[in-house]
């Protein structure tokens, strides 16, 4: 039984990694599944908390940019709908920020796979060849996908761009806008007030923050599609891996 061998862009699994052979079928000589422990508990927990926070932020952010019609019935004190939307947006943003900080910490102390979305081997030609292969695979131009214990190179590039850099961009611009409301003398205003003049004004930061939201929405839709597609068509598990932490390879053919 073979598992994906590490290459110049795929370092060997950490000492915490475990390999388990699972039978596939009951007949003599049946193929066996190989399960490799990839994603540690903090990584999986962050993934789902981050996903929930992003969904809440996108919904409330859209409503903040395109407010609901004003309620005309009843006392004004009973019509605080947009206030609750704004509060929910800020609460989800704080969860996102704390989660991102914790995830960055775990990238330093976790296994190799915990660091993948924070570092890219940009000067490794073989890695770029693998990125191109994955593009061709997703475009139905390759017959077989390749096996990867962690993220494949294209997924690693996408996660780094839209999650690591994208979420960091949304945090910085969001705190700048929040600091504007708190005042220039508040600690948030002092820490992130430089963003607004650098971007060209408050309206520009609002626009950039809104465009950032839509880029993450598009990435999320593509991410869900690709995860489901890979679970069906590829030679390894995808969705269940982010639940159990185990990457299960569906055949015993070498890469």
Q: What is the CATH number of domain 41-66+78-234?
A: 1.20.950.20
pLDDT (mean) for 128-141: 95
User: Which sequence spans correspond to the domains of the chain?
Assistant: 41-66+78-234
Q: Where are the alpha helices (DSSP H) in the chain?
A: 41-65, 81-109, 125-138, 153-159, 166-182, 187-192, 195-199, 202-233, 241-244
What percent of the chain has pLDDT above 70?
Answer: 82
Provide the pLDDT confidence category of residue 34 given band limits of 50, 70 and 90. confident
Is 14's pLDDT higher than 90? no
Check: CB of residue 138 under 8 Å from CB of residue 160.
no
Question: What local confidence, expressed as pLDDT, does residue 76 receive?
Answer: 62
Is 244's pLDDT higher than 50? yes
Question: What local confidence, expressed as pLDDT, does residue 173 receive?
Answer: 97
What percent of the chain has pLDDT above 90?
Answer: 67
| CA gap 111, 213 in Å, rounded | 30
Which of 94, 71, 65 has the alpha carbon at shortest distance from 171? 94
For residues 194 and 1, the model is more confident at 194
Question: What local confidence, expressed as pLDDT, does residue 184 receive?
Answer: 85
Report pLDDT digits (tens) over 162-219: 999 999 999 999 999 999 989 888 999 999 999 999 999 999 999 999 999 999 999 9
For residues 23 and 82, the model is more confident at 82
Is 255's pLDDT higher than 70? no
Range 81-87 contact pairs with CB under 8 angstroms and sequence separation of 24 or more: 85/60, 86/60
Question: What local confidence, expressed as pLDDT, does residue 15 receive?
Answer: 38
Rounded to 5°, the CA angle 117-243-92 comes to 65
Mean of all residue pLDDT scores within the chain? 86
Question: What local confidence, expressed as pLDDT, does residue 114 receive?
Answer: 94
Is 43's pLDDT higher than 60? yes
Is 9's pLDDT higher than 60? no
Helix (H, G, I), strand (E, B) or coil at 117: coil
């Amino acid at each position: 039984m073979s598992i994906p061998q590490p290459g110049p862009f795929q370092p060997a699994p950490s000492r915490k990694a475990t390999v388990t052979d699972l039978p596939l079928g009951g007949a003599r000589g049946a193929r066996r599944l190989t399960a490799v422990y990839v994603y540690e508990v903090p990584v999986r927990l962050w993934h789902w908390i981050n996903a929930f926070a992003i969904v809440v932020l996108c919904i409330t952010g859209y409503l903040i940019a395109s407010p609901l019609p004003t309620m005309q019935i009843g006392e004004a004190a009973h019509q605080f709908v947009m206030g609750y939307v704004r509060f929910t947006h800020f609460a989800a943003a704080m969860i996102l920020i704390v989660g991102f900080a914790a995830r960055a910490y775990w990238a330093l102390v976790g296994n190799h796979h915990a660091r993948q979305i924070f570092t890219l081997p940009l000067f490794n030609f073989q890695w770029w060849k693998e990125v191109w292969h994955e593009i061709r695979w997703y475009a139905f131009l390759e017959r077989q996908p390749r096996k990867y214990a962690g993220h494949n190179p294209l997924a690693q590039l996408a996660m780094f761009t839209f999650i690591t850099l994208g979420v960091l961009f949304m945090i910085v611009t969001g705190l700048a806008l929040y600091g504007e409301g708190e005042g220039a003398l508040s600690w948030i205003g002092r820490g992130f007030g430089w963003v607004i003049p650098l971007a060209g004004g408050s309206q520009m930061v609002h626009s950039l923050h809104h465009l950032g939201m839509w880029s993450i929405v598009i990435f999320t839709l593509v991410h869900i599609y690709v995860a489901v597609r890979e679970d069906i068509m590829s030679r390894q598990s995808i969705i269940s891996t982010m639940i159990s932490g185990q990457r299960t390879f569906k055949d015993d053919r070498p890469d």
